[in-house]
Amino acid sequence: MPPGGADYLGPISATPMKMVTEMLAFAGPLSSSDVVYDLGCNDGRVLVEAARAHGCAGVGVEIDARAVAKARQMAKDAGVDALVKIVRGNAVKAAIRDATVVFVYLLPAGNRKIARKLMRELAPGAIVMTYVFKLPEAWWGPWLVASEAAASTRARAAGGVDASAYNKLFKYVVPETKPAWCREGEEEGEEGEEEARRGWAGRIRTRIKILVARLVPIRPRSRGERRFLRTFFSRAAAAGVVAAAAVAAIRPARR
């Protein structure tokens, strides 16, 4: 079983340096106010180059311990370790909300696995760059703003493999209004973890919340709105329980 198990997003492989340079230019113009993430960063080359050439802060999330050590060393050697943070962990569970640019070079199944998360968590206007494989067309298709095929990074004449057919970069921009698909399965997913912590009482509460969410067509657009609605429904449910208990307590006294 590879590291990450079911959350394994793609094997270790590195974007050719020529493509890293092109990708950063294509994503930009980038500046020191950008925060670049690489989900599955391997040796961290994208982030090191973004920091070195454009002064960007970078966060790499990588599941493989050896790749993490290599990435940290690369950042140190390039003198950008103050700007580039490499986190050992599962990109599926990483907090990515402060990213202005996210770079993803994963297998199609990996792209699919994180497609909803990217749309749900990133701020409107954030850029997602993928290399070789697109994000799922049915979901992210409308927000693909540009794609670019670069010339081969290895010439046939020099005995290398002509990889030009695969040397494609895709640039997406997160929209102002998030599509509904990015929230599908969210209740079950997030609440599922919560359930595990709370036991049977939590499970009942969760089911009620999911039912309410399905019956009431309210689609919160921001974290603040979600928090507000969550608090509102929890308090309403608690008030209902207190009222029912009060009625039950008063009734026998009347008889």
Ligand X SMILES: C[S@@+](CC[C@H](N)C(=O)[O-])C[C@H]1O[C@@H](n2cnc3c(N)ncnc32)[C@H](O)[C@@H]1O
Positions touching ligand X (CB under 6 A) are: 4, 7-10, 12-15, 38, 40-42, 45-46, 61-64, 67, 90-92, 105-106
In which element (H, E) is residue 36 found? strand 35-39
- Cβ nearer to ligand X, comparing 64 with 191: 64
Long-range contacts of 186-191 (CB under 8 A, 24+ apart): 186/116, 186/120, 187/213
Least Å distance, CB 5 to ligand X, is: 9
- Cβ nearer to ligand X, comparing 147 with 222: 147
- Cβ nearer to ligand X, comparing 36 with 61: 61
Query: Which SS3 state, helix, strand or coil, does residue 215 take?
Result: helix
- Cβ nearer to ligand X, comparing 14 with 229: 14
- Cβ nearer to ligand X, comparing 62 with 195: 62
Q: Can you say whether the dihedral through the CA atoms of 210, 216, 222, 223 is positive or negative?
A: negative
Length of the chain equals 255
Least Å distance, CB 72 to ligand X, is: 14
Phi and psi torsions of 66, nearest 5°: -65, -40
Q: Which residue is nearest to ligand X (CB)?
A: 40
**Whole-angstrom distance, CA of residue 167 vs CA of residue 255:** 81
CA distances from 139 to 9, 37, 142, 246, 247 (A): 18, 21, 8, 49, 49
Least Å distance, CB 185 to ligand X, is: 18
Least Å distance, CB 83 to ligand X, is: 17
What residue has token string 């209740």? Answer: 187
